[in-house]
A and B are shown apart, each in its own frame.
Chain A
């Protein structure tokens, strides 16, 4: 399920508050070099669960 454009505009990295990039099944924070998974359309935006990219 795709995330809406309106939501993507306000979502930010919980670590640095920087913009996130929408990549298939993940949101990527280029500044922190981590990605957050999106499970069944639900972004998991927890610093503890970020995966390095």
Chain B
């Protein structure tokens, strides 16, 4: 697929997901872990790449000097601005732009983060290189995203592409580690957490192609007790729930 056709898919999906995405409770948890892993403080200038509705950017803004959020989807930036206003935060700026060609000079920020974006990318290594380029020497770079064990990755990708056609490939844990190991970042560190999702609520916030919603429902429900998808699908109080495993990798840009 061409880059611009893929960008169109992302914008189409995320224009529709902009409001429901921000309402999924799991998306507000875990930001604290990211903040701790990069040690955000009052002198830091932060870039949140593929910032979506600004959840991560706004949390960083509470403890940093200034935060810039950039995203490809105008509807997401609108949500981000609204979220910022609701929170009464003033040290945030927003831009529309592409992770593969960040519109910033070299060495511009002391912290550069992205959450839940890499599985939409055609060229993750290029994106990480861009994040490192705009980070100052001695600054911190962090990526948090879905990461499956290698033996589950293909099945998970098939499921996610049905649910969200802008999904490309969730990196496996070893792929993530190799990406960071080859990036030039130093003092790399790693953490993991799970995002618990209810199947029906997630489907309501998703915009699959016609007919694919039922396929997603079946794939997840049939995986209970098997876990070929790597998301620990199970039934709780009559509802199908599952847990998406997230890897967080952070490193410092060499001085």
Report A's interface with B, CB cutoff 8 A: 3-4, 6-7, 9-15, 17, 19, 41-48
Q: Is B109 an interface residue (CB 8 A)?
A: yes
Sample of 7 more A-B contacts, CB < 8 Å, known A14-B101, A46-B98: A9-B105, A14-B103, A42-B77, A42-B94, A42-B96, A44-B95, A44-B97
- Rank and list the top 10 A-B pairs by shortest CB-CB distance, nearest first: A45-B103, A10-B108, A14-B103, A14-B101, A45-B97, A12-B105, A44-B96, A43-B95, A7-B93, A10-B104
List B contacts of A13 (CB < 8 A).
103
Say yes or no: A46-B102 contact (C-beta < 8 A), given A7-B68, A10-B108: no
- Asked if A10 and B96 make an inter-chain contact with CB atoms under 8 angstroms apart, the answer reads no
Closest to B66 in A: A6
List B contacts of A12 (CB < 8 A).
103-105
A43 vs B7: C-alpha distance in the bound complex, in angstroms?
Answer: 18
A3 vs B93: C-alpha distance in the bound complex, in angstroms?
Answer: 9
Q: Is B4 an interface residue (CB 8 A)?
A: yes
Say yes or no: A17-B93 contact (C-beta < 8 A), given A46-B98, A48-B4: no
Contacts across chains A and B counted by CB atoms under 8 Å = 57
Residues from 51 to 94 in B contacting A, C-beta threshold 8 Å: 66, 68, 70, 72, 74, 77, 81, 93-94
CB distance from A16 to the nearest CB of B (A): 10
- Asked if A10 and B109 make an inter-chain contact with CB atoms under 8 angstroms apart, the answer reads yes
Chosen A-B contacts, 29 in total, with CB atoms closer than 8 Å, are A4-B93, A6-B66, A9-B105, A10-B68, A10-B105, A10-B134, A11-B95, A11-B103, A11-B104, A11-B105, A12-B103, A12-B104, A14-B102, A17-B105, A17-B106, A42-B74, A42-B77, A42-B94, A42-B95, A42-B96, A43-B96, A44-B96, A45-B70, A45-B97, A45-B103, A46-B72, A46-B98, A47-B98, A47-B101
List B contacts of A11 (CB < 8 A).
95, 103-105
CB distance from A44 to the nearest CB of B (A): 5
In the complex, which of the residues A4, A19, A45 contacts B96, with contact meaning CB atoms closer than 8 Å? A45
List A contacts of B74 (CB < 8 A).
42
- Asked if A14 and B98 make an inter-chain contact with CB atoms under 8 angstroms apart, the answer reads yes
List B contacts of A9 (CB < 8 A).
105
CB distance from B12 to the nearest CB of A (A): 15
List B contacts of A3 (CB < 8 A).
93
List A contacts of B104 (CB < 8 A).
10-12
User: Please, what's the 1-or-0 string for B127-147, where 1 marks a CB less than 8 Å from any CB in chain A?
Assistant: 000000010000000000000
Closest to A48 in B: B4
CB distance from B252 to the nearest CB of A (A): 20
A19 vs B103: C-alpha distance in the bound complex, in angstroms?
Answer: 10
CB distance from B52 to the nearest CB of A (A): 15
Query: Which of B72, B81, B93, B94 has the most CB atoms of chain A within a 10 A radius of its CB?
Result: B93
